[in-house]
A and B are shown apart, each in its own frame.
Chain A
């Protein structure tokens, strides 16, 4: 690979040919501020804050759009640069309102931090600010089903325009008018309608694009704990960070503040879809199952202890019509079940129904079309479950149908024929993600199934029809592994504890296995993973399972730090409270120089 060697701030740096000065500086931890540059969105050169002095060039250059050349001498700290940069920041703040206390971005805003570090102390602007829709948060106006826009705060970096054009593939955002009147719009204010719209809030370097979901909910310093995990709401398995509010568990309100994407070039780059970003709320919703439930003789679901429920399950299972025989039991798992859970379930099925019975376990999921533009760079899969590939690899359940849907015909036929006395359903996903199970509810209502056991997380129609309900944990409440559609085995980490008496699903399954006399003896998920790895030594993803690391909750500093490694440097630097880089000339001592003269 061709390389070039240049000098930045007296340091000799060697980078690949074709690298820009800004990229070279980022790679080597040299501070140059920037807004419009984004590693995934390319170069625009519209914000002008990355000005640097390059020897033999008559004027200051924007580092983001200047290619490195051999022997180039770049200075980012000369008085000329410092003054020009401060001038750009003064211009950016001419119309930017100082409403940081009511702005969602306040506290993690690059404009705030950079203005402090590189900007002038005071503005010399004597005229009122230009406004578009009012003052302060009153200027937040509709920008689609998920977003609001505050045009006063916009600095016209055009990252959102480029995101829609380059990544989403449907340029719905444009810049209307010119000069001082330029503002970000959608045609006729119809808003952004895209399944990737939440990313616009991430790429916005100021508080102009706001998510309705997060607006006024929290401040960055109120959610200081971050857990690096994996989203499991579809087959893609994006790397995400779950943000936790600093509050005791017993205090009112949810602990999860938001979910943001985490850079992973193999899977999701810098992005995630709106489903993962906004639908995590079911984890802490009012419909969560908190205690095991048992249907009484009056037909009402009543809370019951774990012992009572398991004893009842055993009773029902063993109370056969013919003495000395057991009732027939069948298993149906959502593809939201993790690798560990599928392994335990397969083991129970094998122990109760004989060798090869794990093949008869029904594995179900939902397939839904997500309308997306043809040219999109981020395709959201049709399958709404994280572990379909994992179930296939483990040999649990039947292979999927040609259209990607689950093949439940064998189980369905058995149920319709009345050959299933007990149906055990494992459904740790959000409502409806297991697919259409109305036939199960109907079969129970008509008595073709004698006992319906549902291990799930939400009070869905299915759980409401069940005789025994066992409260499990969602993907944010357990350490578990999933295989995404590319066949990558990923670890989803535990961010919060399951509510009430709910337990992690593998643990429930082990207890159920013991109650049914199936004899499963795993004491931890690590043991399960070790067994899977031992059974599949030739599959790299699975053979490495024991070495897969689960993240622990960590004190976070900002979202950019985890979402965008190329911007990470600036947070590492800025949060050390660097002394401001400021011009000590006339401009600062006499803020109204033009009027005094």
Chain B
């Protein structure tokens, strides 16, 4: 720009101590993910294409586990808004990770119903079993422990959500070890799943 030539930026005088986002590897959607995004974006009118920002960020997490600055740039250019707007969304929602996470992100509900049914003890047991604090990843890189607000399955409290989509209900503190071992051995199949879906699969004549 030609104006204000005497005002140079980044002189080092007033640099913020704020933590900047991990720049990360150069990011671009894989062709399959790009296709999935276009399919999602086609649900919205073309002038509101930016409404696909949350699905797009989920796809980023599918692809590389967490959201980096270069991924934000890519999403912004693909859905047609600015980086600042994507950044707003990423930092507002708890389900977008700004740092690398383990293969399974275990999110323990701590809102009222679950808390009454011992969610705090579940979290404490998980902390002990994994040797991590809330928000940390265990040394093997398999599990990340997080606490969440209401997950909406109060009738089967306490509830644990894994990787934003898998459910484990009626989790009692003494079953924590079994759940972790099951996840290690059998993967997501070890989880109980959402009882509504389970019942649906069994059909109306189920037990």
Instruction: Report which A residues bind B (CB closer than 8 A).
Output: 132-134, 140-142, 144-146, 148, 170-178, 183, 185-189, 191, 193, 195, 212-213, 274-275, 278-279, 368, 371
Contact = CB atoms under 8 A, between A and B. Distances in A.
A133 B17 contact: yes
A443 B195 CA distance: 90
A140 B14 contact: yes
A174 B16 contact: no
A134 B91 contact: no
B91 A178 contact: yes
Contacts of B92: 177-178
A187 B3 contact: no
Given A142-B10, A145-B8, A187-B87, A171 B72 contact: no
A174 B76 CA distance: 14
Contacts of B23: 188
A145 B4 CA distance: 8
B18 to A, nearest CB: 7
B82 interface: yes
Contact of B82 (A170, A177, A371): A170
B166 to A, nearest CB: 25
B84 interface: yes
27 contacts: A133-B18, A134-B17, A141-B16, A141-B17, A141-B18, A142-B15, A142-B16, A146-B4, A148-B14, A170-B82, A171-B81, A171-B84, A176-B91, A185-B87, A187-B69, A187-B83, A188-B20, A189-B16, A189-B18, A189-B20, A191-B9, A195-B1, A212-B7, A274-B3, A274-B4, A278-B7, A371-B1
B4 A142 contact: no
B contact patch SS:
loop
Nearest to A380: B3
A174 B85 contact: yes
A274 B8 CA distance: 14
Contact of B72 (A132, A187, A275): A187
A278 B3 contact: yes
A187 B74 CA distance: 13
B88 A279 contact: no
B88 A176 contact: yes
Interface centre among A174, A195, A279 (most CB of B within 10 A): A174
Contacts of B21: 188
Nearest to A181: B91
A278 B7 CA distance: 10
A436 B18 CA distance: 45
B118 to A, nearest CB: 27
Interface of B: 1-4, 7-10, 14-18, 20-21, 23, 69, 72, 81-85, 87-88, 91-92
Contacts of B2: 368
A173 B9 CA distance: 17
A145 B91 contact: no
Given A187-B83, A213-B7, A174 B14 contact: no
B23 to A, nearest CB: 8
A213 B4 CA distance: 9
A187 B4 contact: no
Contact of A174 (B10, B15, B69, B87): B87
B3 A177 contact: no
B3 A172 contact: no
A148 B7 CA distance: 11
Given A185-B87, A186-B84, A274-B4, A141 B15 contact: yes
Residue with the highest number of chain B CB atoms closer than 10 Å, among A186, A188, A275: A188
Contacts of A195: 1, 3
Given A176-B88, A274-B4, A145 B9 contact: yes
B8 to A, nearest CB: 7
A143 to B, nearest CB: 9
Contacts of A141: 14-18
Nearest to B82: A171
Residue of B2, B23, B84, B85 with highest tally of chain A CB at under 10 A:
B84
- Of all A-B residue pairs in the complex, the 9 with the closest CB atoms, nearest first, are A174-B84, A187-B83, A141-B16, A174-B88, A145-B9, A176-B91, A278-B4, A275-B3, A187-B84
A213 B82 CA distance: 28
Contacts of A368: 2
B16 A133 contact: yes
A185 B3 contact: no
A278 B8 CA distance: 13
A171 B83 CA distance: 9
Nearest to B85: A171
Contacts of B83: 187-188
A134 B15 CA distance: 11
Contacts of A171: 81-82, 84-85
A95 B8 CA distance: 31
Which of A145, A183, A187, A213 has the most chain B CB atoms closer than 10 A to its own CB? A187
Given A132-B18, A144-B9, A176 B87 contact: yes
Contacts of B9: 142, 144-145, 191
Contacts of B85: 171, 174
Contacts of A170: 82
Nearest to A191: B9
A141 to B, nearest CB: 4
Nearest to A281: B6
Given A133-B16, A171-B82, A177-B92, A145 B1 contact: yes
B184 to A, nearest CB: 34
Contacts of A189: 16, 18, 20
A183 B84 CA distance: 12
A140 B17 CA distance: 11
B116 to A, nearest CB: 24
Residue of B10, B14, B82 with most chain A CB atoms under a 10 A cut-off: B14
B135 to A, nearest CB: 14
A279 B87 contact: no
Contacts of A142: 9-10, 14-16
A231 to B, nearest CB: 13
A439 to B, nearest CB: 22
Contacts of A175: 88
Contacts of B69: 187-188
Nearest to B88: A174
Nearest to B13: A142
A145 B14 contact: no
Contacts of A186: 84
Given A274-B3, A278-B4, A177 B20 contact: no
Given A171-B82, A278-B7, 17 more contacts: A134-B17, A142-B9, A144-B9, A170-B82, A171-B84, A174-B88, A176-B88, A178-B91, A185-B18, A187-B83, A188-B20, A188-B69, A189-B18, A213-B4, A274-B3, A274-B4, A279-B4
A208 B42 CA distance: 41
A183 B85 CA distance: 14
A213 B7 CA distance: 8
Q: Which of B4, B15, B82, B87 has the most CB of A within 10 A?
A: B4
A54 B87 CA distance: 38
Contacts of B18: 132-133, 141, 183, 185, 189
A428 B21 CA distance: 49
A46 to B, nearest CB: 14
A554 to B, nearest CB: 28
